[in-house]
Amino acid sequence: MSFRLLVLVSGSGTNLQALLDAVADDAFGATVVAVGADRDGIEGLARAERANVPTFVEPVADHPDRAAWDAALAARIAGYGPDLVVSAGFMKILGPRVLGAFPVVNTHPALLPSFPGTHAVRDALAYGVRLTGCTVHLVDAGVDTGPVIAQEAVPIQDGDDETTLHERIKVVERRLLVEVVGRMAREGWQVHGRHVRFGR
């Protein structure tokens, strides 16, 4: 039986698209069973619909507080029985109910632990670093603090702005995310403290 991925998105969903393209090949060893979002009307959901993947939307504003949203999101996710949740441009902090029930990987557009949070590309440019990149990591209760699985560097070029730099990072990020998720599906993984190793 194929390894079941559930992907969470908040925006354009190009990382999701890379996963949808990858799972089209049976050798990848995984399927996307559903795509969830915290808002409606985004391209990420349209991408899922075009690929005939079920979608759901769970906005924070539909709930009295974060804890209620977390419980509702966990229940939605559980309904699809995923083996792994992939946060691919999902711009909300996941709560304990989701994180307690499923392994979650996130892709982040910086070399963590530098520049966590929602403006990683802008923050790296403002700091003046010459090298940034992307990180695929397991999600824990903190903000972009979970164990790192894979990272790749992207040099900053003179004249880069947030858009040009982010686009170059995303080219690398999509390949890295697909590579990591594929290996997790096919090989399994183990966590030893802050270290993640593929294999069972």
Which positions are annotated as active-site residues? 108
- The set of residues, in sequence order, having a beta carbon less than 8 Å from that of 179 and lying 6+ positions away, is 150
Tallying the residues shown for the chain, one arrives at 200
Least distance (Å) between residue 107 CB and ligand GAR: 5
d(CA 19, CA 23): 6
Q: Where are the beta strands (DSSP E) in the chain?
A: 3-9, 30-37, 55-57, 84-87, 104-108, 131-138, 148-155, 189-192, 195-198
Least distance (Å) between residue 158 CB and ligand GAR: 22
Least distance (Å) between residue 49 CB and ligand GAR: 15
Which of 75/131 has CB closer to ligand GAR? 131
Among 6, 14, 112, 146, binds ligand GAR (CB under 6 A): 14
Is residue 36 near ligand GAR by the rule CB under 6 A? no
Query: How big is the chain by its Cα radius of gyration, in Å?
Result: 16
Is residue 181 near ligand GAR by the rule CB under 6 A? no
d(CA 121, CA 102): 28
Q: Footprint of ligand GAR on residues 75-134 (CB under 6 A)?
A: 88-89, 91, 107-109, 118, 120
Which of 77/121 has CB closer to ligand GAR? 121
Q: Which two tokens stand for residue 97?
A: 């109910």
Cβ atoms of 67 and 45 within 8 Å: the answer is: no
Which of 12/78 has CB closer to ligand GAR? 12
Least distance (Å) between residue 160 CB and ligand GAR: 15
Is residue 160 near ligand GAR by the rule CB under 6 A? no
Residue sitting closest to ligand GAR (CB): 89
Cβ atoms of 174 and 13 within 8 Å: the answer is: no
Query: By the criterion CB under 6 A, which residues form the site for ligand GAR?
Result: 9, 11-16, 44, 88-89, 91, 107-109, 118, 120, 170, 173
